Amino acid sequence: MLPCSLAILLFALSGTLAQDCPAQQRPPQQEPAEGLPNIVIVYADDLGYGDLSIYNPQAAYQTPRLDQMASEGVRFLDAHSPSTICSPSRYGLFSGQLVCRTGRRSTAFEGPGGPSYLAPGQLTLAQMLKRVGYRTGVFGKWHLGLTWYDKEGKRLGGGFENALLIDYQKSTPLEDGPNHRGFDESFVTPNCPTTDPLYVYLENGMVREPASQRHRRENLPNPGGKWRWDNDEGWMAPNYRFVDADLLFYDRTALFIRDHRERFSDQPFFAVLSTQISHAPVLPAEEFRGVTGAGPRGDFVRELDTLVGRLLDLLDELQIDRETLVVFNSDNGPETVHTDWMREDHEHDASGGFRGMKRDGWEGGHRVPLIVRWPGRIPAGRVTRQLANTTDLFATVASIVGYPLSDDDAVDSYDLLPAMLGTRSDDQPIRPYMLTQSFRGEFQLRQGPWKYLDHPGSGGNNYDRGMLKKYALPETAPGATGQLFHLGRDAGETQNLFFAEADKRKEMQALLKRLVGSEGRTAPRDRHPIGINHLQQGETP
């Protein structure tokens, strides 16, 4: 794995290198182990640490089904997204590593933007599971970048108007869509489903209907007179659905699971439900409007909660509840405008008391809910303070299914299975450190209770003006080029110890330089999976 500081120099060659080299280092196709669980990941969008009532007793609404899921599984209190914006975090989920490893800048794709962050030849979570016999599907928001061509065969860049230049015959099947990255079935949108054009549906690498109509936001409802905020007027396909986007994505997920049980019952399945909720614009489906008394966003989150409940009910109906691992996670902290409005209108803190929000390197930008449920395997009602990252889902799943990861795979992924099972106590850290990246790609480093931000300020939002100005805190270390906090004593990141704890700061700066540069990884080498065959019902390894 190239260090982040060198990877960008070789990015132009990455397609060739990725196709030729990593495949030769992969383990051969394995025989499926007996009793492998089905795996479902529900990946929420812009859902903050304080947006679920199980995490936030002062929440302005209740999330009963997710609270129930937590009571039946394990809840992580110190879990983080790899980035504070959408696309790089999705890369972290499917690759097990930070976006800096690609050598590309941190961005959220718009229009026909791409190519995919997932390079050819890079092992993805779905590809790994296919190797051990899984059938795989992804439904909802993709947003990892895609390659589109015009009529001359030239690759198009981002930008809303470029959507009109797409030659769909030349572009499809999409060469770097989900079906070329390990998924057998896919029904996704290229970007944020209701925010960023191109507004089309991609089904198994094909565009169902090209974008031929101009979307006008005035055609959508505007709950509360303001919650339609951040709905861009780009190009869309006929019959594209905005208001009930997540009902559609859930229905496609449920269809995949039902079809799998009817036609492929001898295989385990892997399904990802990648939701729009609670990204802008806030457009709860009709059946959820007004149900919480906490405004449109409260209703929106209740919609997500209900869909998770329907998913759990489906697993129970199909009698596969106890053989299915379900993960709930979010891609970053809550949107700035949403956070402010919910605080002002409903005394609800989507950041859960932490400083910052989406795009920021402070905790509110990347500390997120993480709940995992596997009846009969994961003890019910577990709560852990083990440091965790979305990237860790890769190595954890590999550990469950017995897949031996090479040192070149998922280089920022740790096996959290012992934390889920309770076989490793919180005072025995699984992760000695963790990296995250803010909106501009700048780094934050955790080491125990210590947190170093390799930048001044938020790393994302501007707190000098506008609605965020009231949330600005005094600078306690004027002139510092970075920030150092002790979260055990200062969870709100209020006292910058950059100068006061110079030795610790220098130690963490040196560690950051090594992890980003010469080591090019944060995960340990020579990882060994536990394997389902060593994890019998009612037993722990």
Alpha carbon of 492 to those of 20, 32, 486, 488: distances in Å?
47, 47, 10, 10
Inside any domain, residue 308: yes
DSSP state of 375: T
Q: Are 120 and 113 contacting, i.e. CB atoms less than 8 angstroms apart?
A: no
Inside any domain, residue 540: no
Inside any domain, residue 315: yes
Based on DSSP, count helices (H) and strands (E) in the chain, helices before strands.
14, 18
Instruction: Look up residue 198 and give its two tokens.
Output: 């191109």
Q: Distance between CA atoms of 352 and 363, rounded to whole angstroms?
A: 10
pLDDT in tens, 98-138: 999 999 999 999 999 999 999 999 999 999 999 999 999 99
Mean local confidence (pLDDT), 341-359: 98
Inside any domain, residue 10: no
Q: What is the residue-averaged pLDDT of the chain?
A: 93
Inside any domain, residue 161: yes
SS3 content of the chain, % helix, strand, coil (to 5): 30, 15, 55
Q: Are 131 and 179 contacting, i.e. CB atoms less than 8 angstroms apart?
A: no
Residue 204 contacts by C-beta under 8 Å, 6 or more apart in sequence? Answer: 173, 179, 185, 186, 187
Inside any domain, residue 24: no
Q: What is the pTM of this model?
A: 0.93
Mean local confidence (pLDDT), 338-365: 98
In the predicted structure, residue 401 carries a pLDDT above the cut 60: yes
pLDDT in tens, 23-61: 334 444 454 456 899 999 999 999 999 999 999 999 999
pLDDT for residue 440? 94
CATH number of the domain to which 195 belongs: 3.40.720.10
Count the domains in the chain. Answer: 1
Task: Note down the domain range covering 525.
Answer: 33-534
Inside any domain, residue 11: no
Q: Single out the residue of 313, 117, 278, 125 nearest to residue 195, CA to CA.
A: 278
Inside any domain, residue 361: yes
